Chains A and B, each alone.
Chain A
Amino acid sequence: MAKTILAVDDSGSLRQMVAFSLKAAGYQVIEAVDGQDGLEKARNQVVDLVLTDQNMPRMDGLTLIKSLRGLPSYQRVPILMLTTESSDDMKAKGRAAGANGWLVKPFDPQKLTEVVKKVIG
């Protein structure tokens, strides 16, 4: 059975490219338009990996990670940040919030799928 990835990003074009890349590699993708939507979808279905943007309306990526880590079913689910942010300060905040990795946009689809495979197989 294909593993499921929750892709959270307020940019429709970015979500489209993430979904395209991961579906081509055999994963199922659930899309969410911001952190709040991502949290609701994550509560409805426990996924194998969360890939989230940082700067989004309603709820940002760091807040989403902290909220997910507060849920028993998401304490061990890998969470990767995929964001334009690249400062060490933001990466440290992501790590402290519970992120397992940091990918700076734009992403290369081959590299993205390699990382996802490395993390969840």
Chain B
Amino acid sequence: MPKKKTLGPQVKRLLTGVSDHGSEHLLEVETDLVQTTILLAEAIEKLGGSFLALHTAISSQQEEIDLLISAGVAPSASVDRLKLLQNDIAQHVNSAVTSLQFQDMTSQLISRTVQRSAGLREVLGTLGIVGDGIPHDGGNDEIADLLKEISMRLEAQSIQLKSLLRKAVSQQHLDSGDIELF
């Protein structure tokens, strides 16, 4: 009499495979994001330091220029041109200060993505653990019950993860935000 084929081993292999491979890839995603965070933090520290040093140097230069203008040694055409340049510099400084706030927003978004990925790994872990419980010789009803249990647990974990990860950054550009006084 031919031996009855059961789906148990195949389902178990599928669930374990999705869990293991998925977790491995998500761990790589998290590692890359943590590395990105470190690089961005170093970049903003250096950019911020350079910006402040540059601003100090330009301010000192401006003081020297103001002294020359007060002494009347600069031609009037140059004085007018210097004033225009000063306005340009002030606008660029404003723009740079607004742009240099990028890391505050990107780090929050990356942190949220890392948390979501870690949460998703937990979900996949559940898939593997429950999958391991599928007996090799289990019948279709037993497998169907286990798959139903997996679906319910995944849904619950997914809802819980969503509730934990409220989106605090909705900015799409680095334009300055709204101001409201109460």
Contact = CB atoms under 8 A, between A and B. Distances in A.
A103 B177 contact: yes
Contacts of B94: 108-110
A21 interface: yes
Chain A interface extent, by class? 20 to 34
Given A13-B103, A84-B108, A105-B105, A119 B52 contact: no
Contacts of A111: 176, 179
A95 B182 contact: yes
A13 B44 contact: yes
A119 B181 contact: yes
A16 B48 CA distance: 8
Contacts of B99: 106
B67 interface: no
Interface string A93-121: 00100011111111111110001001100
A108 B176 contact: yes
A105 B181 contact: no
B168 interface: yes
A13 B48 contact: yes
B108 to A, nearest CB: 6
Nearest to B171: A84
Interface of A: 9, 11-14, 16-17, 20-21, 54-55, 83-86, 91, 95, 99-111, 115, 118-119
